[in-house]
Amino acid sequence: MNYLNERIVITGVGLTAPNGNNIKEFRQALLEKKSGITHIDMRYMGQVAAGVCTFDERKYQDRKARRRGTRAGATAIYCAHEAVNDCGINWDNVDKSRVGVYVGITEHGNVETEEEVHLLLTQNNCDVKLWSHHHNPRTVSNSPAGEVNLSLNITGPHYTIGSACAGGNMGLIQAVQMLRLGEVDFAIAGGLSESVKTFGIFAAFKAQGALGTHADPAKASKPLDRDRNGIVVSEGGCLYTVERLSDAKARGAKIYAEVVGYATNTDATDFVLPNTERQIQCMNMALHKAGINASDIDIINMHATGTPSGDIVETKAVIEVFSNSDSSYINTSKGAIGHTMGAAGALELAGNLLAFEDGLVHPCMNIDNLDPECEMKNLVVKEPKKLDKVNYILNNSFGMLGINSSVIVKKYED
């Protein structure tokens, strides 16, 4: 069958964030500007600000499975089960060979490798015979997606999409494409990160001068603020169940949103420094694919990591694309949760999804003194902004090596 023109919808959401373990908790925390960032003790570094999730790892897997697997896998399993439960499908009757699992990630395997090297040096007297035989399956890049398939008995395709901090958006984009190509009939897709468990990422951002710090950890992540000083590393996960509209309607599914536009491109400029022109191009490509104008977008969720240069680059891009729109409102999420890396795109989109129901644009957090170079009209700062209706949301997610992504979702209407 030809599914290329099929409408694609989100029917279930499973997530864990530093300030909530389901979409309603997460949404309420963002509306109330509730931070999920704390200080943790990091090996070799002492205290660092980080966003740590508190979901129940044992809710959907037993002790043995967790011991063999990974924190990233446990996060993915939790989010996948929550999404499947949320979408209301009769899982026992689903053809598991026609289910695809697409998980965006930043890095994977660092946690296990660092821990085992540490034990090798400090406890095992460098005896490699004591190296865990679970190491290889734990550290292959497809592990988080594969652990989902093992847990849910899915025999269809699974893979991770290594796309840095654009990973969450890229997982969703992959699901849309595979459903339209007829490769699968049901998809579990999004992104995740286990970053707070690895020393290396904190050390690298610190060496780069891009690690967010503050005596009060809840104020360490300050996107767009004049006093921002870098990224707060966080973990998290968000996976969606994604279906063709015809299938969702046939089973009477609740529909959160319709995916109507997306785009991805590459700066080809620098390893870490973003490019305004390419971000402008990416957003315009997504608008073109959706067949709408910039003025049709009601909410723009910025990537806004809290780095001095990155926020300014993206601000210029957003101003350029939306300069003629007076009805597009802008927010950010990382002030409340930090940077959840591979999960960021999917998780931050989820934080705005319920605006289709309540009409509220959640505010940015920790903008105490707006950077003049980040000043934009309709930036929602202090309190939620109530709109008469929310029809379209655009979600930006950008990553190292210059990967950019923009996803547009629409309020579902027959």
Cα torsion through 38, 86, 406, 185, rounded to 10: 140
Q: What residue type is assigned to position 183 of the chain?
A: E
Strands 99-105 and 158-162: parallel
Domain boundaries, the chain: 8-250, 262-410
Q: How many CA atoms lie within 13 A of 369 on its CB side?
A: 3
In whole angstroms, give the CA distance from residue 294 to residue 382: 24
- Judge residue 215's burial from the number of C-beta atoms within 10 Å of its C-beta, 0-12 exposed, 13-18 middle, 19 or more buried: exposed
Pick the CATH number of 8-250 from 3.40.50.720, 3.90.800.10, 3.10.350.10, 3.40.47.10: 3.40.47.10
pLDDT at site 413: 95
Residues of the chain with pLDDT under 70: none
Helix axes 71-87, 143-152, angle to 10 degrees: 50
CA distances for 202 relative to 223, 232, 251, 339, 368, angstroms: 18, 9, 46, 12, 25
CB 410 within 8 A of CB 260: yes
Residues known to be catalytic: 165, 303, 339
CATH class of the domain whose range is 262-410: alpha beta
CB 298 within 8 A of CB 408: no
Token output for 330: 């802008």
CA distances for 333 relative to 18, 19, 137, 154, 362, angstroms: 12, 11, 33, 32, 9
**β-bridge mates for residue 191, sequence order:** 104, 238
CB 9 within 8 A of CB 257: yes
Q: What residue type is assigned to position 248 of the chain?
A: A
Chain position carrying tokens 């067949």: 291
Token output for 380: 């929602």
In whole angstroms, give the CA distance from residue 116 to residue 89: 40
Helix axes 23-31, 344-353, angle to 10 degrees: 80
CB 289 within 8 A of CB 320: no
218 phi and psi, to 5 degrees? -65, -15
CA distances for 376 relative to 84, 297, 325, 336, 397, angstroms: 38, 15, 12, 20, 19
Helix axes 167-181, 344-353, angle to 10 degrees: 80
In whole angstroms, give the CA distance from residue 228 to residue 156: 44
pLDDT at site 126: 84
Fold match between domain 8-250 and domain 262-410 = yes
- Judge residue 247's burial from the number of C-beta atoms within 10 Å of its C-beta, 0-12 exposed, 13-18 middle, 19 or more buried: middle
Cα torsion through 55, 146, 337, 392, rounded to 10: -120
Strands 37-42 and 236-244: unpaired
CB 149 within 8 A of CB 103: no
pLDDT at site 79: 98
CB 186 within 8 A of CB 246: no
CA distances for 404 relative to 6, 173, 269, 272, 279, angstroms: 25, 12, 12, 12, 7
